[in-house]
């Protein structure tokens, strides 16, 4: 399976970053007084290619939903089939991300790419959304491939299409997210494969699993990793063997967001695993991503280390629905306003005393 021909990722605008750094130096605040809020503003200026940057006005959470065959092995605290109920909660605006989104001025879109509901129709029955469907559920990755080659290619293309749709509709900040019982198991396999880590080092508590479930999950990751290791240099083949519909779609989404020069808040292990694959396919994409918060999942720590991203907050949120990232959106909006509206030393006469004065 050949990797898609992708254009090179353009780095965020260095000149706009330098202008933002220079502007911060002119503000009527102590040097370094704004800390990470200043750095956030500089990152946003570079992503937007303008100084001062605009506060994100249309943040968009895109939740990719899919089931995983490996969930039947008892690797989650929830039984297979719960994913569809989680999707229903998102559409009823009772999922944590749906509850938090209005506070952050964001909106949420849920896309069924692989729920296992026994047909090729979508969970809500709308024919228009059927074009985003990859398949019903993914294969048991400890014994079979997650997807076929054609399904992997299609899923990657769907992810790129979704990113294009959001950017074309005006989204200026993207939060890729996921819903899927058992999804952290294939995500952990991908992380272990791409970081050269042993299975036990990536097994987390995910959905809040007990020790017996942890052991089953560890065995599934061990066996999945054994099948995945021969494909570590072929990102799409790795998604085919050990990923799933959601992971392949999220990979395409993250690649295209970077190609469209749109900043991304990265949060959650499933999105994080997809980010590792996306960076393999499109080197430099990581410069368009900001790590929202530190997850207690051990595999997510490996993701951030590999991508050289430092999490902004330490919320210890394990959810993959975008909740942790939404907590960061107001900080980005604040950072842009600080850079644009804070008075300068020249305007106010507030400046440090000169030595000897």
Q: Domain of 134: which CATH number?
A: 3.40.50.10210
Q: Which of 170, 132, 153, 317 is nearest to 251 (CA)?
A: 153
Say what the pLDDT of residue 118 is: 52
Is the residue at 263 inside a domain?
A: yes
Say what the pLDDT of residue 120 is: 40
Is the residue at 16 inside a domain?
A: no
C-alpha 83/C-alpha 90 separation (Å) is: 11
**b/e burial code for range 243-258 (CB count within 10 A of at least 16 → b):** bbbbbbbbbbbbbbbb
Please state, for a pLDDT cut of 90, what percent of the chain lies above it: 87
| Residue 305 pLDDT greater than 50, yes or no | yes
Question: What's the pLDDT tens digit per position in 161-196?
Answer: 999 999 999 999 999 999 999 999 999 999 999 999
Is the residue at 12 inside a domain?
A: no
C-alpha 345/C-alpha 106 separation (Å) is: 34
| Residue 35 pLDDT greater than 90, yes or no | yes
Say what the pLDDT of residue 273 is: 98
| Residue 304 pLDDT greater than 70, yes or no | yes
Q: Cβ contacts of residue 318 below 8 Å, gap of 6+?
A: 204, 205, 206, 207, 208, 269, 295, 296, 297
- pTM: predicted TM-score of the whole model, two decimal places: 0.94
Using DSSP, state whether 264 is helix, strand or coil: strand
| Residue 119 pLDDT greater than 80, yes or no | no
Look over the chain and give the mean of its residue pLDDT values, rounded to a whole number.
93
Say what the pLDDT of residue 288 is: 98
CB 74 within 8 A of CB 188: no
Q: What is the mean pLDDT of residues 132-136?
A: 96
C-alpha 25/C-alpha 200 separation (Å) is: 47
Domain that holds residue 75: 59-329
Say what the pLDDT of residue 317 is: 93
Say what the pLDDT of residue 125 is: 45
Is the residue at 350 inside a domain?
A: no
| Residue 51 pLDDT greater than 80, yes or no | yes
Q: Give the pLDDT band of residue 355 (cuts 50, 70, 90).
A: low
Q: What is the mean pLDDT of residues 131-156?
A: 97
| Residue 121 pLDDT greater than 50, yes or no | no
| Residue 346 pLDDT greater than 70, yes or no | yes
| Residue 29 pLDDT greater than 60, yes or no | yes
Q: What is the mean pLDDT of residues 77-93?
A: 92
Q: What is the mean pLDDT of residues 104-115?
A: 96
Residue 84 CB neighbours (<10 A): 18
Is the residue at 216 inside a domain?
A: yes
Q: Which of 49, 53, 31, 57 is nearest to 40 (CA)?
A: 53
- Which residues are 131's β-sheet partners? none
Count up the domains in the chain and report the number.
1
Say what the pLDDT of residue 354 is: 63
- Which residues are 112's β-sheet partners? 65
Indicate the helix (H) or strand (E) that contains 16. helix 14-26
**What are the two backbone dihedrals, phi and then psi, of residue 89, each rounded to the nearest 5 degrees?**
-65, -40
DSSP state of 268: S
Of the candidate ranges 34-48, 262-276, 334-348, the one whose mean pLDDT is the lowest: 334-348
Question: What's the pLDDT tens digit per position in 188-247?
Answer: 999 999 999 999 999 988 878 899 999 999 999 999 999 999 999 999 999 999 999 999
| Residue 122 pLDDT greater than 70, yes or no | no
Higher-confidence residue of 344 and 355: namely 344
């Amino acid at each position: 399976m050949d990797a898609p021909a992708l254009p090179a990722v353009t780095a965020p605008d260095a000149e706009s970053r330098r202008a933002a750094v220079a502007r911060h130096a002119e503000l009527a605040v102590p040097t370094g007084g704004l800390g990470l809020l200043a750095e956030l503003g500089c990152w946003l200026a570079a992503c937007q290619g303008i100084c001062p940057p605009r506060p994100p006005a249309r943040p968009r959470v895109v939740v990719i939903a899919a089931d995983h065959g490996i969930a039947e092995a008892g690797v989650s605290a929830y039984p297979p089939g719960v994913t569809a109920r989680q999707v229903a909660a998102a559409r009823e605006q009772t999922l944590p991300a749906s509850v938090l989104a209005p506070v952050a001025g964001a909106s949420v879109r849920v896309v069924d790419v692989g729920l296992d509901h026994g047909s090729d129709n979508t969970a809500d029955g709308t024919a228009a959304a059927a074009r985003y469907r990859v398949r019903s559920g993914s294969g048991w990755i400890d014994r079979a491939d997650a997807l076929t080659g054609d399904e992997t290619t299609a899923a990657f293309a769907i992810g790129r299409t979704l990113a294009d749709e959001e950017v074309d509709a005006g989204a200026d900040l993207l939060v890729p997210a996921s819903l899927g019982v058992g999804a952290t198991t294939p995500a952990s396999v991908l992380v272990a494969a791409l970081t050269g880590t042993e299975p036990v080092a990536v097994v987390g508590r995910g959905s809040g699993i007990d020790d017996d479930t942890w052991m089953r999950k560890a065995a599934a990751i061990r066996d999945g990793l054994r099948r995945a290791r021969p494909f570590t240099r072929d990102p799409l083949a790795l998604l085919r063997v050990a990923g799933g519909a959601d992971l392949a779609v999220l990979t395409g989404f993250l690649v295209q967001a970077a190609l469209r020069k749109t900043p991304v808040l990265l949060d959650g292990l499933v999105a994080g695993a997809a980010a590792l694959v996306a960076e393999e396919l499109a080197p430099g994409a990581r410069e368009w991503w900001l790590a929202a918060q530190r997850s207690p999942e051990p595999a997510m720590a490996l993701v951030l280390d590999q991508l050289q991203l430092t999490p902004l907050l330490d919320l210890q949120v394990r959810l993959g629905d975008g909740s942790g990232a939404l907590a960061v959106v107001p900080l980005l909006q604040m950072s842009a306003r600080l850079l644009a509206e804070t008075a300068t030393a020249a305007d106010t006469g507030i400046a440090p005393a000169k030595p000897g004065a």
